[in-house]
Structure 1
Amino acid sequence: MKCKPLLVLLVLCLFNTVFVHAGGVKGVVKGDNGELLSFATIYVKELGTGTTTNADAHYEVQLPPGNYQIIFQYVGYESLLKEVQVGNDFVELDVVLKTQVMLLRDVEILAGKEDPAYTIMRKAIAKSKFHTQQVDSYTARVYIKGTGQLVDYPFFMKGTLEKEGFDPDRVFITESVSDIEYIRPNIYNEKVISIYTQGDDNNTDPNAYVNGSFYEPEVAKSVSPLSPKAFSYYRFVYDGTYRDQGFEVSKIKVIPRSKGDNVFEGYINIVEDYWSIYSLDLRVTKLGVNFRIQQTYEPVEKNVWLPVTHKFYVEGKVLGFEFMGNYLATVSDYKVEINPDLDMEIDVIDEKVEEELAEKLEEQVKDEEMGEIQEMLTSGKEVTRKQLRQVMKAYEKMELKRQKEPEVISNRTFKVDSMAYEQDSTFWANIRPVPLTQAEKKGYATADSLANIARMEREGDTLKTGKRKGFHLQDIIVGNTYKIADKTHFRIHTPLLGTNYNTVEGFNIDYAVSLTKTFDSKNWLSLKPTARYAFAREQFSGKFDMQYGFGEFDTRSDISLSFGRYINQFNDDDPINRYVNSLMTLFLERNYMKIYEKDFVELTYKKKLGSKLTMRLNMQLAERRELYNNTDYRFFDIKGDGFTPNAPFNLAMPVTSFPDHRALTAGANFEYKPWVKYRIYNGKKSVVENSSPIFQLNYKKGIADALDSEVDYDMLELGFKYGFDIGIRGQVDVMLKAGTFLNNDEMYFMDYKHFLGNRTPFVTTDPVGSFRMLDYYTFSTNEEYFAGSLHYQFRKFLITRMPLVRLSGVRESFFANYLVNDVTTSSGYTELGYGINYILRVFRLEAVTSFYDGKYQDFGVRIGIATNFEDIF
C-alpha cells in the first residue's frame, strides 16, 4: 500500500528550507540525558531558514560563507543559540540541549477557582483573528519529505502482493521542493521545482496536502484549540511558564471534554503578551486513524510568528491494512509583507480577570464609533477581548467588500516545473536539508530500481512488467482506456458491469464504448453509444449519448442529445439499483423493478446564469410501450411466493397498464444557491458543498396534439435542501419538496410524481430525501404532495458515549421521512429511524419503523453507504 494518499490529510505541513552551497554546519543534537533528539528544529536567523535533525538526530545545513546565529529547539528542552562562522567547508557542531525548567506563576489556585490556563487561552483566542490578518503576503521555499511503511496486511492478500513484487519491509519515500507564495486572505500559489517519489507514477502530486492554520476555527475539519468555540470542546490546564529566547512562554495542556473524532489533545505553548503560538504537540483521530502534529514557530519579523518546521505522524488500519507514516516540512527564505493596518502591538485585557480595567476601557469607547476603537488599537493602548473582536469583525467585513470575488474562500495554483522529475541523486544530496537515515537510503535504492524499469518501459524497452499497454483481446471483456491523440481518450466499458437480470428481459447485457475529446480547459465533447441485448426477449436495443460542454465557469453551458430504443423504470430517478434488483430477483424471488420501453430523442440544455443560479431545459419525444414478464427463472424457488406482474401497483390508479402511445414532454428546472462558496484550483472553480441552502423550482409539461402527442399535464414543484452543523459536532441535513399538478387531463403512469421508495435491505439512493421502507409506486400521485426528510447526526449519543467507539470513527444519527398527498390519508406516511454511520469507515446500518395513518406499519433493517461520506475528509 502506498502512503501518498495520506498526504491529503497533511493539514499542517507547509514549509521547508533548501540551499545549494559547498559549506555549512552539521552534527548531532542530544539532550542533557544523552537522548538523541530526532527531528529537533534548527533555525538560521539571518536567512529565516528552518530545518530539523533526522530520525537519527543528525542534521546538516548548507550555508554560504558568513557569520550566523543558529537556534536549536526541541519540545521540553531549552533553546540554544550558537554563533557560527562558516567558510567553504562544513563546521562540525554537536549540540546538547538542557531540560526545560518549568516555573509556576505566582498564582494561588484555590478549590473552585479558575485555572490560569483559561485567561491565557481567552487572550490567545481573542487575538487569533488578528494573527490571520496580520500578514499581507509572504514567499518561502518549502521542503517536504514523507516516509511510510505497510506494517501488516490481510493474509489473503499475501500472494497478490508477492506477485506484484511488493516488499512489506520497504520504506516508501516522497520528497519535494517548492516555491510558495501567500497573499491575504486566501491566495496560495505553489510551484514545485523538484520531486523525488517512490514508484513509477510521475503523474502523482506528492505535494497534494491541505493547508491549514491553528488560528482558524477548524483545521482539517477538526476544532482548533484557538477556535471561538474551543471552551465547548476542551478543558485547559496550566502546566507552567518558561523563558526561551527572551520570551515568556506558557505551556497549556489541551484536554477534550469528550474524546473522539475531530478534537485535539496534547499541548500548545503560547507566547505571553504576543498571544501567538510558540509551538504545539497535538494528537487527533479521524475515523480510527491516529495523527500527531508538531509545529515550531519563530518570529520571522517583529511581532510576526510563523511556523518553520512541521512534523506529522500517522498510523492506522483500514480494511486490514495497517500502515504508518512520518512527514516533515521545513521552511527557508521567508520574505514577509506585514499588513500596515495591523502593524502594531496590542495589550489584550481579559474581562473575567481584570474586571475594573475592562469596565474602564469599555466605558471610554461606549459611545464612540468603531473607527475610534481602531485608532485606539493603532496607538498601542490596552483593549479588552470584546473590543478586539469588534474591531477584527468590522475589519474583515471591510476587507470582504474590497474583494472582487468574496464568495471564493480559497484560490490556489499548483504548478510543476518541467524539469521537476529529472533531478538526479546528486542534486538531491546537495539540496536536501535533512539527511537520510539508513532505512530511507534502502527505500530509495529500491525506488530507483523500480523507476529505471518504468523508464525503460516508457522508452520501449522489451522488459515486461505485466502491465497492459495498447489493445489486448481481454480488453473486450474487462475494458480499458486508451489515449488515441492529444486530449482524446477512447474507453471500452466492461460488459461485466453491464450484465443484469430482471423478469422482463431475463439476463441482459449492456456494451458501451465512449470517446472523450477535451479541446481546451473550457470545452469538451463526449460520445457514447450503448448496445443492449435481452436474452429472454431475444431483442437488441440501444442508445447514443452525446454531451458538449463550453464556456466560463459562471456562465457555463452543457448540451446533451440522446436517442435510441431503451429500457426505463417508471420512476426516472431509478429508485432501485439494477444490481440490487438482480440480487433480489435471483436469490429472493422479488422483482421490484418495473420497466417499460421507449423509442426516444431527448435534448437537454444546462446553463449557469451567474455563480448562484443554474437553469436546465429539457424536451423529449418518445414512443412508449408496455413490457411484460418473459421469464420466471430464479436460483431459489421460495414456497408460497411468486413474481409480481411488471405493471406497478398504485392506490390511486389500480390499473397502471397502458397502450402504446406517443408523448412530447418539456421541462424547466431552476436551482438557486444564494450563499454558495467556491474554491479555485489552477483557475478552475469548484463548489464548497453545504455552503448554501439550495432552492429549486421545477416545471414539467405534457404537450398535447403536437407531433401526435397523447399527454396533457402541467406539474409544478418547489424544493429545498440544506446541510449544516449544529451544536457540538452535530450535523443536520434537511430536504423538503412540495408540488402540484396544475393540469392532469391526459396522463400515463410514468408521468405521475413518484417518490424514492425502497423494499430491499439495501439503500443505494441519497440517504437524505429517500425512503427506507416505502413501496416504490403505491403512493405515486397526479395531485398535490409534500415530502420531507430530516437527518441529525450526533457526535455522541448512545453507543458513541463509549470513547473506543467514537475513536473508531463511528457516529450515530436519527432521521425522519414524511410523505402526504391525495393517495395517503391525512396523517400521511412516516418513517422514523436510527442509524450507525461509518462502520468500517464506509457503511451505515439503520433500524427503521414506518407508520401509516398514524399507526404502526412495519419495522426493518437497512444497509447503505455512510451518510455524508464525502465529508469524511
Structure 2
Amino acid sequence: MKQKRIIFFSLLLFLLNSQAFAGGIRGTVKGDDGTILAFATIFVKQAGTGTAANADGFYEIALPAGTYEVSYQFLGYETESRQVTVGNDFVEVNIVLKTQVVQLKDIEVRAGKEDPAYTIMRKAIAKAKYHTQSIDSYAATVYIKGSGQLKDYPWLAKKTLEKEGITKDRVYISESVSEITYTRPNTFGEKVISIRSDGKDNNTSPNPFIFGSFYHPEVAETVSPLSPKAFAYYRFEYQGTFQDRSFQVSRIKVTPRSRGDNVVSGMIYIVENWWSIHSLDVQTTKLGIDIGIKMQYAPIEDKAWLPVSHRFKVNGKYLGFEFEYNYLATISNYKITMNPEVYVEAMEVIDDKLEKEEAKEAEKKFGQKDQPLQERMASGKEIGRKELKKMLKEYEKQEIKAQKEPEVVANTTYKIDSLAYKKNTAYWDSIRPVPLLKEEVKGYQISDSLAVEDRKKAEGDTVKASKHKGFQPWDIIMGDNYKLSKRSNFRIHTPVGGFNTVEGLNLIYKLTFGTILPDTNKTRFSITPAFRYAFSREKLSGLLTMRLQNKNYRLELQGGRYIRQYNQDESIWPLVNTFTTLFLEQNLMKLYERDFVNLLYRTKIGNKISLNSNLTWMRRRELANSSNFKIIDRRKIEGYTPNRPENEELLDTGFPEHEAFIGSIGISARPWLKYRIINGEKREISSSSPTFSLDYRRGFDGILGSDVRFDQLELGMKHGFDIGVRGKVDVALKGGMFLNKDKLFFMDYKHFLGNRTPFSTSDPVGSFRVLDYYRYSTADKYFVANVHYQFRKFLVTTIPIVRLTGIRENVFVNYLATPTSRNYTEVGYSIDGILRIFRLEAAAAFRDGKYVGYGLRIGIATSIGVNFSEE
C-alpha cells in the first residue's frame, strides 16, 4: 500500500458515524482569547460518537432527532459540556473554551524527595493491564483523513515530478471509513466500507494504532509511558492538576532518559482514581522523521476511558525531499462489553512504595487466592499496585493456558467492501465529519482532473497498446513476464553476467515456466532452464530445475553441468568478485565444475519444526585459470593467483576427476515460536524464539561409483533478544565434527563465511569480516560463535541529532576454533543506517591473542537486509 511505503505512522485513525441524518449540530470552537482551536475534539455521549473540528475550528455532526450531551475538549482549555436538542435541521452551537487553570496540589516537595509524578505513574502503570483486560469487546466506526504536501525537492527532480503532476503547492488527500471490532484477548477485525484517495492507490488502514494502545507496553514499536519498563526509559515531572467535569486530571511531563527512536516526549494526562489516560500530547521520531501525536480520551458509558479523537503530524527530510503529512481520526458508534471476571465499578490503587501502611491494610481485606479474580478485586475498594499486577499477571497466564492456540498473539482480519471505491462525492459530503479545507478541496479537484486525463489517454491508446502485447524482440535482452493464463506464466529473466579468471567473461540466461496446480494449498510447479556461456573457455554449460512448492513443502529436482564455489554457501557474490578481480587484481572466488543430479526436499512437521533433506550425485573436476584480463594493472603482476584454495590443514587442495554421492538431513526447531494470524493465514514472529538446528551429512562410498566416505554432524543455535533499554543482542553458535574422514575432497570440508573484499555481503550475524575464505576450512572438529550487540547510545549516538537520524552503533565479536585457526577472533565496530541504507564496519583479527590484520567494510543496513543471489 502507498501509505505504508511513506511511513507506517501515516496510517492513523479517524472514526465517525457512517449514517447520514437530516439534522445535527455544527459550529466553531474558539478559545477565550479568540484563538481558533483547530482540531478540537467533540464527543456525543449518548451516541458514543467523536469528531474533530477542522483547521478553521469548524465542526459538523449529523445526528437523528433527540437530546444529547455534547463535550468539547482541547488540550490547555477547560472541557465544556452542552445539552443540545436536535430536530430536523442543523443546530448551530458555537463554543468558547476557557483557558485551563492548572493548580499544584498541596504536596510537600523537599530536596531529595521523589517527584509526585512517580506515584501517579506507578498507579497508572499498575492499572494499565487492567484497562486492557477489563474490556471484553468493542465495536466502532473508523473515519481517517490524511492530507500531505511535498514542500521541497531537489531541482534535478523538478521536471520529472512536474510531468507526474507533483508540485509544491499541491495537497494530496485520502479518506476511508472502516468498521472495526475487537474481542479480548487478541482478535481484531476491520472492514473498509469506503475509500477515496487523490487519484493514486493510497489505500489506508488504521490497524497500527487502532489495534495498538498506550495501555500496552509498546504501541507501533514505541515504548509507552505506561509500560512496566517505563521508569528505565523516561523521567516524569508533575505539572499540576485540573478539573475536567467531575474528574481530577494530573498533568505529567514525559522526558526520555535518552532521546531517539521508539520513545516519546511531551505530556500525558492521567485521570485520578481511574488512573487512566485522559489525553496525550507527545512527539517521537522514526528514522529522522518527526511525528507529533495528540489523542483525546473519553469515559465510554462511564466504564472505560478510550480514545475518541487523534491528530498526527508527520514531517521530515530525506535526500533533499521535504514533506509534511497530517492525519486526523475520530471514533463513532462505540459499543463496549466489559469483562465480568475483571471489571469492578470502583477500585483505588495504592502505591506500596509510599503508602506502605495503607497497602498492608488493603491486602487484609482481600479474600483467598483461590477466589475468582473479580471477587478478590471487588472485596475491597482499595488494592496495592503490586497485588493488582500480580493478580492480573496470574489471570492472563491462566487465560493463555485455556486458549486453543496460546502461541497466537494476534488474530486480525482485514476486508475491503466491493463497493468501497465506488462512493461518489455526495456520499463523502454527507458522511465526512470534518469539513475539508480549501486546499484539500483543490487537491481533490486536481487529482480528479488528472485521473480523467489519464483515463482518456488510456482509452485513446487502447489500439496502440494492443499492438505491443506479448513477446517483443527487446525482451530477449531486457527480460519480461508473460501471463499465459489465470494460473500460468512465462518469464524471461534479465540476463546477468560477470568476470572470473576461470571463465573470463560469462553470461547467464534463464527462462521460467510456472503454473499453480488446482489444489487447495496453491501448489506451484515451475521449470527453469539456465544457460551459462564462458567466453574465455568457449564452453556452454547449463542446468535444469524442476520445483514443486507450497507453504508446507518444497520438492526440487535439479541437474546439469555447472560451476560452483568450493563453499556451497556462496561466500562471495559474483558481482563483487568481478569488481575485485578487474579493479583490485584479486581473484578471490575459487570454482570447480560438476555434472550433477540433486534431489531436495523440505517440509514442516507441525508449526515449529522444519525438516530438510538432500541427495546429490556428482562428477567433479578441477578448473584452471583461462584469462588474465585486467582493467587496472596496478601491481604489474603477470597473472592472477591459481584457482586453487589455500588451506593450512590440507596443503594441496587439488583433486582428480571423481564421482561423489552425498546425502544430508537436517532438522530445525523453534520451540517458543509465536504467530500473528492475518486473514486466516499464520505468520511467524521470527524473533519470538531461538532457532535450534541439527544437521547430518554423509558421503556414500561405492554407490554410483562414488569415491567419498565421511560423516559430519553439526549443532547450531541462533537468536536475537533485547537487553533492557540498552540495546539488542544477536547470537549465532555453531559446532560440529567429522565422525570419520576416510575419503573426501576439499569441497567436502567444512567452510566458513569469510570475507576479503571491501564489501560486507553476508548476514552480519553468522559471518566474518576479514577471515580468509578457505585457510581454516577443516575436516575435523570446529566451533563458531558470532555475537552482535546493537547499542541504543554508545559513541556518536550520544549526540541526539545523530541518533534521531536512525544511526545505530554496533560492536561484534566473531570466534572460530579449528585445529589450525589458533582461536581466531575478530573484534569489530560498525555504524549502521548511514543515509538509512548503508553500514560501515571496521574489524581487527587476532590469533591466540596476537594481532594479524584489520579490514574496513561497507554493507547494506541491517534494517533492510537485502540478499542477492543468482537463483
TM-score (norm 1): 0.95
CA-CA distance at 1:359 after TM superposition:
2.6
Give 1:601's aligned residue. 597
Q: Deviations over 1:377-416 (max 9, x none)?
A: 1234311011001100110011101111111111111111
2:735 to 738, 741, 751: 738
Answer whether contact 1:15 1:307 (CA < 8 A) is retained. no
Q: Which residue of 1 aligns with 2:249?
A: 249
Deviation at 1:466, TM superposition (A): 14
Quote the residue 1:671 is aligned against: 668
- Work out whether residues 836 and 846 of structure 1, in 8 Å CA contact, stay in contact via their aligned partners in 2: yes
**Corresponding residue for residue 263 of structure 2:** 263
Query: Retained in 2: the 8 A contact 1:11–1:220?
Result: no
Q: What is aligned with 1:850?
A: 845
1:23-38, aligned counterparts within 5 Å? 23-38=23-38
1:16·1:309 contact (CA, 8 Å) conserved in 2?
Answer: no
CA contact 2:13–2:206 (8 Å) conserved in 1: no
Residue of 804, 811, 832 corresponding to 1:837: 832
Q: Deviations over 1:188-211 (max 9, x none)?
A: 111111111223438x55556453
Equivalences for 1:389-538 in 2 at 5 Å? 389-456=389-456, 462=462, 471-495=471-495, 498-519=496-517, 522-525=521-524, 526-538=526-538
* Contact 2:144/2:330, CA 8 A, preserved across alignment: yes
**Aligned pair partner of 1:772 in 766, 769, 780:** 769
Q: Quote the residue 2:564 is aligned against.
A: 568
Please, which moves more after superposition, 448-457 or 418-427? 448-457
Question: For the residues of structure 1 that align with 2:429 and 2:23, how far apart are their CA atoms?
Answer: 13
Give the drift of 1:106.
Answer: 1.3
Inter-CA distance 870–593: structure 2 relative to 1 (3 Å threshold): closer
- Residue 710 of structure 1: how far off its partner (Å): 1.5
* SS at structure 2 position matched to 1:169: coil
2:354 corresponds in structure 1 to: 353
Alignment CA distance shift 1:166-1:300 (3 Å): same
Measured in 2, the distance between the counterparts of 1:491 and 1:169 equals 42
For 1:797 and 1:759, the matched residues in 2 are separated by: 28
Query: Following the alignment from structure 2 to structure 1, what is the Cα–Cα distance between the partners of residues 167 and 282?
Result: 32
Task: Give me the whole-angstrom Cα distance separating, in 2, the residues matched to 1:80 and 1:870.
Answer: 52
Aligned-residue offset at 1:628: 1.6
Matching of residue 785 in structure 1 with residue 782 in structure 2: yes
Q: Which residue of 2 aligns with 1:803?
A: 800
The amino acid that maps onto 2:595 is D
How many Å separate the matches in 2 of 1:459 and 1:23?
43
Residue in structure 2 matched with residue 161 of structure 1 by the alignment: 161
Give the corresponding residue for 1:558: 554
Secondary structure in 2 matching 1:690: helix
Cα distance in 1 between the residues matched to 2:373 and 2:185: 23
Whole-Å Cα distance in 2 between the matches of residues 313 and 490 of structure 1? 45
Q: Which of the residues 757, 777, 782 maps onto 2:754? A: 757
User: Given that residues 12 and 206 in structure 2 are in contact (C-alpha distance below 8 angstroms), is that contact kept between their aligned partners in structure 1?
Assistant: no
Secondary structure of residue in 2 paired with 1:574: coil
* TM-score relative to the length of structure 2: 0.95
Within-5 A mapping of 1:539-688: 539-550=539-550, 556-641=552-637, 642-688=639-685
Q: How far apart are 1:454 and its partner, in Å?
A: 4.8
Q: Do the aligned residues in 1 keep the contact of 2:3 with 2:204 (CA within 8 Å)? A: no
- Residue in 2 that maps onto 1:813: 810
Q: Which residue of 2 aligns with 1:99?
A: 99
Partner of 1:232: 232
Do the aligned residues in 2 keep the contact of 1:793 with 1:814 (CA within 8 Å)?
yes
Amino acid in structure 2 at the alignment position of 1:626: E
- C-alpha distance 598-294 of structure 1, shift in aligned 2 (>3 A): same
Displacement of 1:756 after TM fit? 0.1
Distance 2:664 2:194 in 1: 52
Are the counterparts in 2 of residues 373 and 387 from structure 1 also a CA contact under 8 Å?
Answer: no
Corresponding residue of 2:144: 144
Q: Distance in 2 between matches of 1:493 and 1:207?
A: 38
Residue identity matched to 1:853 = D
- Structure 2 residue ranges without an equivalent (≥5): 867-871
SS at match of 1:79: strand
Cα distance in 2 for residues equivalent to 1:440 and 1:801: 41
Contact 2:199 2:451 in 1 (8 A): yes
Which residue is 1:332 aligned to?
A: 332
Q: What is the CA–CA distance in structure 1 between the aligned matches of 2:789 and 2:511, rounded to whole Å? A: 42
Please, which of 682, 690, 695 is the counterpart of residue 687 of structure 2? 690
**CA distance in structure 1 between the aligned counterparts of 2:516 and 2:423, rounded to whole angstroms:** 31
State the 1:153 CA deviation.
Answer: 2.2
Counterpart code for 1:665: I
C-alpha distance in structure 1 between counterparts of 2:32 and 2:692, whole Å: 65
Matched letter for residue 741 of structure 1: F
Give the C-alpha shift of residue 523 in structure 1. 2.0
AA aligned opposite 1:833: G
Q: Residues 149-298 of structure 1: matches in 2 within 5 Å?
A: 149-201=149-201, 204=203, 209=208, 211-298=211-298
Moved more, 133-142 or 371-380: 371-380
Deviation at residue 539 of structure 1 after TM alignment: 2.0
Question: What's 1:865 paired with?
Answer: 860
| Aligned mates of 1:279, 1:77 — CA distance in 2 | 12
Cross-structure match for 2:43: 43
Give the structure 1 partner of residue 112 of structure 2: 112
Deviation at 1:458, TM superposition (A): 6.5
Farther-moved stretch of structure 1 (476-485 vs 95-104):
476-485
Q: Secondary structure at the match of 1:127?
A: helix
For structure 1, the 5+ residue unaligned runs are none
Q: Deviations over 1:701-755 (max 9, x none)?
A: 1111111112111110000111000021410000010000112111111111000
Q: 1-side partners of 2:433 and 2:491: how far apart?
A: 45
* C-alpha contact 2:12 2:328 (8 A) present in aligned 1: no
CA deviations 1:772-810 (Å, max 9, x no partner) are 000000000111000100111111111211111111221
Q: CA deviation at 1:868?
A: 4.7
Shift of 1:276: 0.6
Q: Distance in 2 between matches of 1:460 and 1:180?
A: 42
Structure 2 distance, partners of 1:107, 1:614, is: 61
8 Å Cα contact 1:174/1:206 also seen in 2 = no
Tell me if the contact between 2:554 and 2:603 (Cα under 8 Å) persists in the aligned partners. Answer: yes
Q: In structure 1, what is the Cα distance between the partners aligned to 2:453 and 2:424?
A: 16
Residue 446 of structure 1 and its aligned partner are, at CA, apart by 2.0
Measured after TM superposition, the shift of residue 811 of structure 1 is 1.6
Task: Look up the equivalent residue of 2:698 and give its one-letter code.
Answer: K
Structure 1 pair 22–272 and aligned structure 2 pair: CA distance change class (3 A)? same
Deviates more, 1:428-437 or 1:539-548: 539-548
**Counterpart of 1:699?**
696
Taking the aligned partners of 2:820 and 2:395, their CA distance within structure 1 comes to 56
1:279 deviates by 0.6
8 Å CA contact 2:13, 2:143 repeated in 1? no
For residues 357 and 324 of structure 1, the distance between their equivalents in structure 2, rounded to whole angstroms, comes to: 51
In structure 2, distance between residues paired with 1:546 and 1:781: 33
Residue 869 of structure 2: aligned partner: none
- In 1, are the aligned partners of 2:711 and 2:738 still within 8 Å (CA)? yes
Looking at structure 1, the residues matched to 144 and 251 of structure 2 have their Cα atoms a distance apart, in angstroms, of 28
Query: Tell me, what secondary structure is at the counterpart of 2:77?
Result: coil
Q: What is the count of residue pairs matched by the alignment?
A: 861
Deviates more, 1:840-849 or 1:733-742: 840-849
Distance 1:465 1:523, change over 3 A: closer
Tell me: CA distance 1:6–1:274, structure 2 relative to 1, closer, same or farther (3 Å). farther
Q: How far off its partner does 1:453 sit?
A: 4.3
Q: CA deviation at 1:21?
A: 2.0
Q: Specify the SS of the correspondent of 2:168.
A: coil
